[in-house]
Amino acid sequence: MYFKMVMKNELFVCLLRQIDRSSSLSVNQVSATIYLINNDNKDMQISVKRPKYLNLIRIRLPVTGMVSIAHRISGVLMFIAIPFMVYLLQLSASGSEGFAQSQNLLQSPVVKLPMLLLIWSIYHHLFAGIRFILIDIDVGVEKPVARASAMLVLIAGLLAALLTLMVMF
């Protein structure tokens, strides 16, 4: 029995070395080999954590998690909008004709929705960034305060975007 366990341990160590050297073994092959090692001797327990399927749509995030993810999304949206904004700036600075073209472009219904999204992303990124800076200096770290500040960020971002939309259009 002792000899069997030593041989199994040696096999397991060799298997781990093979995994380190090359990625030629798949996860299923490794799991099957470990399963065979485990089932041959009940005294030797090796736990294998298989990857779990997580349905990200069904996971309910807390408000603080939603604010964090929305902060990242808003940053990506602002980054993606940079070329369009530079184009608009260049067009409006080219002269009175270019300025009129940029105004017409901004008044089109196709551009209004992305502009609203961009305006929201600017405000949300600003408010969430202020919240994260305060959390970094240990202000609002407690759970109830963190939830309240996250809700405040969501509401303030939406209200500021809607107010800006009302003033602009």
Q: What is the mean pLDDT of each run of 10 residues along the chain (169 residues)?
A: 47 58 54 54 57 77 93 97 96 95 91 92 97 94 95 96 87
Q: Tell if the pTM clears 0.85, that is, is over it.
A: no
CATH number for the domain whose boundaries are 63-168: 1.20.1300.10
* Cα 68 from Cα 40, distance rounded (Å): 48
Going from the C-alpha of 18 to that of each of 22, 70, 148, the distances in angstroms are 6, 42, 51
How crowded is the C-beta side of 162, counted as CA atoms within 13 Å? 6
The rounded distance, in Å, linking the Cα atoms of 157 and 146 is: 16
* pLDDT value, residue 2: 39
How many CB atoms lie under 10 A from the CB of residue 118? 19
